Every structure is written in C-alpha cells, then in structure tokens.
Amino acid sequence: MKWIYLLASISFEVLGTTAMKMASQGGKNAMYWNITVWVAYIICFGLLQYAMKYFELGTVYAIWSGVGISILAVIGYFVFGDSFSLLKIVSIALIIIGIVGLNMSGAH
C-alpha cells in the first residue's frame, strides 16, 4: 500500500506541475489549469503525507522528487518542446541510479 500512496502522490505532482506550465501560457483555459494546479497539489501532498508513514523521510522525498523530475523532463521534451541534451539524459540516469541505490540500501 505504501507504494500506491507514493506513486499516486508522484502522479498528482506531475499533473500539478504540468498544469502549472499550461496555466503560465495563458489563454482561455488558464483558469481551469490554475484550478487543476491547486487540486492536484492538495491531493499530492495529502498522499505524500501517508507515504511518509511507511518510508524514511530522506528516502520518500528522494523517490518522490527524483521520479517526478524525471517524468517532467520527458513531458517537457515531448509536450512543451524543451531541450533534451546528453547531459540531461545522464543526469536523469544518475537520479534513477540514486533512487535504486536508496531502495537497495534497505533504508525504507
């Protein structure tokens, strides 16, 4: 169950951040994107709080932020046309390696 809370929290964090980017672009739907940001982040942090009951603080936050950053970098590239260099790919790979290392260390 702990992983469900964490993965759901990450999903809502990604939704909230993507909606924030959409809202920043303005347009007629900006108000709806702003509402989505608020709702997604409220749900995100509520679920993260539950996940923190089952993981150590450093581990849960590293997984939450690392996975979220990695997913958002891919969304940024495919949806918003952000750049994607070799350095970004290597950096994301290092984040993922760090997350795997934390989990293998038994620190959860």
Summarised one tens digit per residue, pLDDT across range 17-49 is 999 999 999 889 999 999 999 999 999 999 999
Q: Are 59 and 108 in contact (CB under 8 A)?
A: yes
Q: By C-alpha distance, which of 20, 62, 61, 21 is closest to 39?
A: 20
Q: How many domains does the chain have?
A: 1
Q: Containing domain of residue 93, as a range? A: 2-104
Q: Is the pLDDT of residue 107 over 70?
A: no
